[in-house]
Amino acid sequence: MRSMSTPASIVLHGQRPALEIAQERIYFAFGNGRFAYDCVVCDAQCCRGHDYLATTRGSLANQLLNNPMLRFFAQAERGHPSGAHLMRNYAPGCFFLTQDGLCGTQCKSGYSAKPETCRLFPFNSMLLVGRTLVVAPHDSLCPLRVVMHEKSPQSDWRGLMDEMLLAGVAAPVPRLIGLADDGDALIAQERRILELSETLIGREPFEVFADLQVAYAEGLSPTPAGEAIGSTHVPGRARAFLDQCSELLGVDRAVFNGGAQPDIDALLVAMTPPLRSRILLRHRDETSPYGRSEARTAPYYLLALYMLSVLARVSGMRAVSYQTVARLTQTHVALLTLLSHVSVPMVWRRDATISFDRIPSKFVTPMITIAKRLLPEEQSRFHSPLGSVIASSSSFTGLERVTFLNTLGAWLSGRIEPLDENNDRNARRTTMRSLLQRWGLRHMNERTLRIIALRHVTRRAWERKRARQVRASRS
């Protein structure tokens, strides 16, 4: 990384008009020097088949000067204010990748000659939240490892800041929309949680950290970072959640005892700030899977992710890494989101369609029961947490239980929301179809609903089979 006199602000050249961000308005959503990587060990995976952005007056000009034939692989980015080009890259490796897995541009001309994408990667996932620029690690491509006892210069804030200050950022940076304010309160809370993660890593199990996050989510005052962990945090919330999820998943609770997997505890504590930025700092609209409850359920989402990470270890995965956890957030979205809401009373959204068409027939009966219990009028009376609704409506075991929970999570995604959000009558319109479906759930018994649902399932299966036969006959 370069170190010299730098400008006072970062210029975002990819915005219209170009935007300046003061240094104090940068939020690095990871510990200072907390992550490291080794390009040779990972065989430079980011340099194999992944495109990069090159600015016309910067790295692109130098690359074309040394290799004019590269012009055939440069595609202009339409509408980019700085006239940047996307350099197409292909397997088995970048045009500049050496046989030793090193960057030929860096070896020949130094670090500063590399394109912006390569200089900042893997810490180049950026988002504008109000007047703050949030910088987080890439989702999963780079095999980052947690550094415990020293600081890695590869994730050093000052070095990354200098790179962005001296050259600016050419890549377009998306802006978070739908915030009720300028986002300063949200960013301030995330900074405090980052401080907590740096204080607790290697000292406390992830369960304790989750309890402290619950305290922030509920507007309480947990133990300040840097002080001894005492009784000022909310005790037992994480433990109760782990108990409930263990029973729901059909797994022995002892598997998740705090401190039993210290490396996974440290990994999840270190990954919490970037994971929270991904959960909370996204478009605040009504396309969120389960309403607008991310702030209070984020600690439970991370606890569910911790459980899956431990299960990966118990299943035989010796090295549970940053990439493992990041990949789990992609492959188990439905299950993680479902588990993160097991303690919340949930109801059908006003505009939700409640259809059993694509549900496997063996799951139809318990899902009808769950559907009836998630009616707003039912939940207004009983306030049953989602986990209790699920547990009392199904009795599957083993693989069938996991398949059922995954199917249920995908089915409910985008259709339910917390009971206390359901009173916003102006948020969305109720459709005639959803009104009829709710009427059926209220007034028909489960046997009648099952007969109707299975007829639909059978008819849809026949239609799909017929469509496949037609396509086969035409080919």
What are the helix (H) ranges across 374-397? Answer: 376-382, 386-391
> Could you list the mean pLDDT of each consecutive 10-residue stretch along the chain, which spans 475 residues?
62 88 95 93 89 80 86 84 83 89 88 88 93 91 92 94 88 82 85 95 93 82 47 69 95 86 95 93 54 77 96 93 94 94 93 85 92 94 95 94 96 91 60 80 84 72 75 80
Cβ-in-10-Å burial (0-12, 13-18, 19+) of 93 comes to: middle
Give the three-state DSSP class for 373.
helix
- Tell me which residue of 430, 297, 422 sits closest to 354, measured CA to CA: 430
120 near 10, Cβ under 8 Å? no
* pLDDT at res. 2: 46
Answer whether 0.75 is exceeded by the pTM. Answer: yes
Helix 184-200 and helix 262-280: axis angle, to 10°? 170
Supply 377's token pair: 């009028």
Question: How far, in Å, CA of 127 to CA of 33, rounded?
Answer: 21
128 near 277, Cβ under 8 Å? no
* pLDDT at res. 401: 96
290 near 274, Cβ under 8 Å? no
Question: How far, in Å, CA of 94 to CA of 453, rounded?
Answer: 53
- Tell me which residue of 134, 231, 139, 144 sits closest to 190, measured CA to CA: 134
Question: How far, in Å, CA of 165 to CA of 125, rounded?
Answer: 16
